[in-house]
């Protein structure tokens, strides 16, 4: 069975996209950008039929709530 | 059947690594939806989404702003409702939760999709196993 976009994201090294949002479809990065709204617009414009998996390659330590 | 997700290894700015529990979800409002890899955070009261996502999904948003303590200090959020679908390996494994309250971050610098406890954790038995996976089993009511 083919890996889902989620599985592809988990298993692959995306260090080169550190700090960016990425849109993944068919086991490849369609687009990446530091700003999510820019990424969403680019995907909509360039890949109108795609329904990608979107996530952030966060490279800062997170302390979500105090 | 339990949904199974994994920890993802992230390289930090200082060269060290950390692992975060990432779940595969769809945020849906009527016919609009987006799929995200989101952090599952048992320490967060509410699910938080960026304003750009709320705009994209055309979410109905309450006018009232409330304060929420986050990692950058106190920030303003507005609230809305969304359907959250937890994706499985195949479609029949999906689990949908409707009308989940989400906090929409008003600061455009606060861009993260974080799954918090309210409206989520009461529906699943959740096991975090750092060396293996995160499993979510739907509870029957």
What's the gap in Å between the CA of A50 and the closest CA on chain B? 11
- Please count the residue pairs, one from chain A and one from chain B, whose beta carbons lie less than 8 angstroms apart: 85
Q: What percent of chain A has pLDDT over 90?
A: 82
Whether the CB-CB separation of A23 and A31 falls below 8 Å is answered with: yes
pLDDT at B70: 66
Q: Is the pTM of this model over 0.95?
A: no
Check if the beta carbon of residue B97 is closer than 8 Å to that of residue B123: yes
Count CA within 13 A, CB hemisphere, residue A5.
Answer: 21
For an interface test with B, give the residue of A24, A26, A58 to mutate (most B CBs within 10 A): A58
Let me know: does B138 contact B123? Beta carbons within 8 Å.
yes
Q: Assess contact for A5 and A25: CB atoms under 8 A.
A: yes
CA distance B140 to chain A (A): 27
Beta strands in B12-131 (DSSP E): 17-29, 32-40, 47-50, 66-70, 73-86, 95-105, 114-115, 124-128
State residue B140's pLDDT score: 83
Residues of chain A contacting residue B89, judged by C-beta atoms under 8 Å apart? 1, 4
Task: Please tell me what DSSP assigns to residue A3.
Answer: P
To probe the interface with B, which of A15, A53, A63 has the most B CB atoms within 10 Å?
A: A53
Q: What is the mean pLDDT of each run of 10 residues along chain B (141 residues)?
A: 93 90 97 97 93 95 84 80 94 92 86 94 94 90 61
What does the CA dihedral B62, B33, A32, A43 come to, rounded to 10 degrees? -110
Q: How far apart are CA B26 and CA A54, in angstroms?
A: 10
ipTM at complex level: 0.91
Nearest CA in chain A to B9: A10
CA–CA distance, B57 with B33 (Å, rounded to integer):
6
pLDDT at residue number A58: 86
User: From the list A9, A40, A59, which residue is nearest B56 (CB)?
Assistant: A40
């Amino acid at each position: 069975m083919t890996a889902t976009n989620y599985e592809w994201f988990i298993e692959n090294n995306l260090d080169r996209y550190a700090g960016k949002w990425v849109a993944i479809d068919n086991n490849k990065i369609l687009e990446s950008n530091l700003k999510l709204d820019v990424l969403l617009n680019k995907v909509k414009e360039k890949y109108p039929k795609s329904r990608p998996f979107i996530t952030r390659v966060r490279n800062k330590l997170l302390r979500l709530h105090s | 059947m339990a949904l199974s997700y994994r920890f993802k290894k992230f390289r930090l700015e200082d060269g060290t690594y950390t692992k975060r529990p990432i779940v595969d979800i769809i945020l849906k409002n009527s016919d609009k939806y987006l799929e995200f890899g989101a952090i599952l955070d048992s320490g967060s009261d509410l699910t938080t989404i960026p304003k750009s996502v709320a705009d994209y999904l055309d979410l109905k948003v309450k006018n009232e702003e409330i304060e929420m303590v986050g990692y950058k200090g106190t920030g303003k959020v507005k609230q809305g409702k969304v359907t959250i679908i937890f994706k499985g390996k195949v479609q029949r494994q999906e689990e949908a939760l409707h009308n989940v309250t989400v906090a929409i971050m008003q600061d455009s610098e606060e861009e993260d999709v974080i799954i918090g406890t309210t409206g989520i954790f009461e529906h699943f038995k959740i096991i975090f196993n750092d060396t293996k996976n995160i499993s979510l089993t739907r509870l029957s009511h």
